[in-house]
Amino acid sequence: MRLKLWLAAATISLSAIQAIAQTPPKTFEFDGQQLLRLREQPNSPAVKAALAEADSAMHAGPFTVTAKPQAPPSGDKHDYMSLARYFWPNPATPNHLPYVRRDGQSNPQIQSIPDHEYLFKMEEAVHALALGYVLTGREEYAARATLLLRAWFLDPKTKMNPNLQYAQAVLGVNGGRGRGILDARGLPDVTDAVAMIEGSKSWTAVDDDGIRGWFNDYYTWLTKSDNGRDEADAKNNHASWYDFQAVGIALFLGRQGDARAMLLAARTRRIAPQIDADGKQPLELGRTKSFGYSVFNLEALMRLADYGAAVGVDLWKYQAPGGGSIRAALDYLIPFALNKERWSHEDITGFNGDELRLPLLQAAARFHEPAYLAAADRLKGKETAEMLILRSRVAP
Q: Name the average pLDDT for the chain.
A: 92
Q: Residue 391: its pLDDT value, please?
A: 76
3-state secondary structure of 88: strand
22-31, 295-304, 366-375, 384-393: least confident range: 384-393
Q: Residue 16: its pLDDT value, please?
A: 37
Between CA 229 and CA 222 the distance in angstroms is: 8
Between CA 182 and CA 337 the distance in angstroms is: 25
Task: Give the percent of the chain with pLDDT over 90.
Answer: 84
Q: Residue 86: its pLDDT value, please?
A: 93
Q: Residue 10: its pLDDT value, please?
A: 38
Q: Residue 70 phi/psi, 5° resolution?
A: -135, 160
Q: Is the pLDDT at 382 greater than 80, yes or no?
A: no
Q: Is the pLDDT at 336 greater than 60, yes or no?
A: yes
- Residue 386: pLDDT band (50, 70, 90) is confident
Q: Is the pLDDT at 288 greater than 90, yes or no?
A: yes
For the chain, how long is the longest CA-to-CA vector?
88
Contact criterion met (CB below 8 Å) for 301 and 313: no
Q: What is the mean pLDDT of residues 196-225?
A: 97
Chain-centroid distance of CA 159 in Å reads 20
What separation in angstroms does the CA of 205 have from each of 142, 195, 208, 212? 14, 12, 5, 11
Q: What is the mean pLDDT of residues 72-89?
A: 96
Q: Is the pLDDT at 6 greater than 70, yes or no?
A: no
Between CA 158 and CA 59 the distance in angstroms is: 19
Between CA 50 and CA 389 the distance in angstroms is: 9
For the beta carbon of residue 149, count every other beta carbon within 10 angstroms. Answer: 26
Q: Is the pLDDT at 98 greater than 70, yes or no?
A: yes
With vertex at residue 310, the alpha carbon angle to CA 258 and CA 54, rounded to the nearest 5 degrees, is 105
Q: Is the pLDDT at 205 greater than 60, yes or no?
A: yes
Concatenated DSSP letters of 338-368: TTSS---S-BTT---GGGGHHHHHHHHHHHT
What separation in angstroms does the CA of 228 have from each of 185, 190, 211, 281? 13, 20, 20, 24
Between CA 115 and CA 123 the distance in angstroms is: 12
| Residue boundaries of the structural domains of the chain | 60-233
Torsional sign, CA 62, 119, 392, 199: positive
- What is the distance in angstroms between the CA of the first residue and the CA of the last residue of the chain? 57
Q: Is the pLDDT at 8 greater than 60, yes or no?
A: no
- Residue 5: pLDDT band (50, 70, 90) is very low
Q: What is the mean pLDDT of residues 204-225?
A: 98
Q: Residue 23: its pLDDT value, please?
A: 84
pTM equals: 0.92
60-233 topology per CATH: Glycosyltransferase (1.50.10)
Q: Is the pLDDT at 21 greater than 70, yes or no?
A: no
- Residue 18: pLDDT band (50, 70, 90) is very low
Q: Residue 381: its pLDDT value, please?
A: 80
- Residue 395: pLDDT band (50, 70, 90) is low
Between CA 58 and CA 117 the distance in angstroms is: 18
Q: Is the pLDDT at 168 greater than 80, yes or no?
A: yes
Q: Of 185, 192, 186, which Cα lies nearest the Cα of 131?
A: 192
Between CA 240 and CA 269 the distance in angstroms is: 9
- Which residue type, as a one-letter code, is found at position 65? V
Evaluate the omega torsion of the peptide bond into residue 98 and state whether it is cis, within 30 degrees of 0: yes
170-179, 225-234, 241-250, 265-274: least confident range: 170-179
Contact criterion met (CB below 8 Å) for 367 and 379: no
Between CA 66 and CA 14 the distance in angstroms is: 42
Between CA 215 and CA 222 the distance in angstroms is: 10
Between CA 71 and CA 211 the distance in angstroms is: 24
Q: Is the pLDDT at 4 greater than 70, yes or no?
A: no
Q: Is the pLDDT at 377 greater than 80, yes or no?
A: yes
Q: Is 342 exposed, middle or buried (0-12, 13-18, 19+ CB in 10 A)?
A: exposed
Q: Residue 286 phi/psi, 5° resolution?
A: -80, -5
